[in-house]
């Protein structure tokens, strides 16, 4: 990982800032170029990470010395910016979701193949300590053959949430199903090894917030081999919650929390000895959140040719395909 990369951060909001600070922490010698339509934000973030403030996005895209672009903008603009960056021979990390819908995701996928560059969708939840450990334990068969997953993720919004860009379908493409729901769908399909689906159904409801998209999504997925995922994503979860339960023939794994307002991340593994006997439960805590760093390192290793990358264009397209089914049926 000795190769030096120059990175263009498009979008200086919360996520763009987090990406920039992550790169600076891991690879302080990398050159960071920042662009946002709000030049005040551009200058501020560039100052924080000792980077370069760009007043012209086109200048950054055309700069051949920049080999990576991070797309950290609202969903409406992610497809066009991803494709522009790919066409300018940049490797791309685009915040989830992969465009506003399946059609846009397919356009991005084609651009990736055409330009033969790396593309990663920002599903950072895969890199949380508890989730990584859960995946590893499942692969080792610690809880036997997988049977089903039960997952819930949500928050209660904030004052004015119904006026933000996420409330407008023309800006976001969908509501909570696409927002936090896409993280859960990605995790479930990953743990199910992206098996083909037999069926996918969702009840989408706008139950509280006065907005043009759903604030709750109740989702059921079933694979062709019979594995089932039951998912609830909510913007009326008044106390922030992340809970991910995996059940197998020999036990279960539960991951709770993501740190900060979601509580300390914990993993509980329950293994049963005999039917009718209480399982043995072991718990672990993950007090240091490293998902952003681990995700970036995975991206860089893939660019440098060392390993296959998670959340690549193929996997991310599959997630958008599932979301498309859930919105259209």
CATH fold match for the domains 6-124+293-310 and 129-287: no
Q: Give me the residue spans of the domains in the chain.
A: 6-124+293-310, 129-287
How many CB atoms neighbour CB 104 within 10 A?
21
| C-beta of residue 184 within 8 angstroms of C-beta of residue 190 | no
Give the residue ranges of the chain where pLDDT is below 70: 1-2, 306
| Domain 129-287 of CATH type 3.90.1150.10 | no
Which tokens belong to 8?
Answer: 């263009």
How many CB atoms neighbour CB 302 within 10 A?
18
- What is the rounded CA–CA span in Å between residue 203 and residue 208? 15
pLDDT (0 to 100) of residue 2: 58
Which tokens belong to 53?
Answer: 């403030």
pLDDT (0 to 100) of residue 184: 99
pLDDT (0 to 100) of residue 3: 80
Task: Locate all alpha helices (DSSP H) within the chain, ordered by sequence.
Answer: 14-26, 39-48, 57-62, 75-87, 102-115, 129-139, 169-172, 180-191, 291-303, 313-328
Provide the residue count of the chain: 329
pLDDT (0 to 100) of residue 129: 98
Residues 6 or more apart whose CB falls under 8 angstroms from that of 131 comprise 125, 187, 244, 255
Q: Which strands sit side by side in the sheet containing 6-10, from one edge to the other?
A: 52-53, 31-35, 6-10, 68-71, 91-95, 119-122
pLDDT in tens, 92-130: 999 999 999 999 999 999 999 999 999 999 999 999 999
- Regarding the domain with residue range 6-124+293-310, which homologous superfamily does it belong to in the CATH classification? NAD(P)-binding Rossmann-like Domain (3.40.50.720)
Q: Which residue do the tokens 């509580």 mark?
A: 263
pLDDT (0 to 100) of residue 275: 84
pLDDT (0 to 100) of residue 209: 98
pLDDT (0 to 100) of residue 291: 98
Closest CA to 167 of 135, 211, 200, 206: 211
pLDDT in tens, 169-191: 999 999 999 999 999 999 999 99
pLDDT (0 to 100) of residue 306: 66
Q: Phi and psi of 205, rounded to 5°? A: -130, 140
């Amino acid at each position: 990982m000795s190769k030096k990369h120059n990175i263009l951060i498009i979008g200086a909001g919360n996520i763009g800032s987090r990406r920039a600070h992550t790169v600076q922490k891991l690879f302080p010698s990398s050159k960071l170029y920042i662009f946002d339509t709000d030049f005040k934000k551009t200058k501020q973030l560039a100052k924080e990470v000792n980077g370069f403030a760009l007043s012209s996005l086109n200048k950054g895209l055309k700069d051949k010395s920049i080999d990576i672009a991070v797309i950290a903008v609202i969903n409406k603009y992610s497809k066009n910016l991803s494709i522009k960056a790919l066409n300018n021979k940049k490797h791309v990390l685009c915040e989830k979701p992969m465009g506003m819908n399946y059609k846009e995701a397919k356009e991005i996928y084609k651009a990736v193949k055409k330009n033969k560059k790396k593309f990663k969708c920002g599903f950072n939840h895969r890199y949380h300590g508890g989730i990584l450990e859960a995946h590893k334990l499942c692969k080792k068969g610690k809880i036997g053959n997988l049977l089903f997953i039960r997952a819930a993720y949500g928050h209660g919004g904030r004052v004015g949430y119904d006026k933000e860009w996420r409330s407008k379908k023309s800006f976001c493409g969908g509501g909570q199903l696409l927002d936090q729901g896409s993280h859960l769908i990605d995790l479930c399909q990953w743990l199910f090894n992206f098996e083909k689906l037999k069926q996918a159904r969702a009840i989408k409801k706008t139950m509280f917030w006065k907005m043009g998209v759903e604030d709750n999504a109740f989702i059921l997925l079933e694979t062709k081999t019979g594995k089932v995922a039951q998912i609830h994503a909510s913007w009326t979860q008044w106390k922030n919650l992340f809970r991910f339960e995996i059940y197998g023939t020999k036990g279960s794994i539960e991951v709770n929390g993501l740190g900060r307002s979601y509580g300390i991340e914990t993993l509980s593994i329950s293994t049963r000895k005999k039917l009718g006997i209480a399982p043995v439960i072991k718990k672990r805590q993950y007090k240091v959140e490293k998902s952003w760093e681990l995700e970036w390192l995975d991206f860089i290793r893939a660019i440098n040719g060392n390993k296959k990358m998670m959340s690549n264009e193929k996997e991310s397209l599959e997630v958008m395909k599932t979301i498309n089914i859930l919105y259209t049926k």
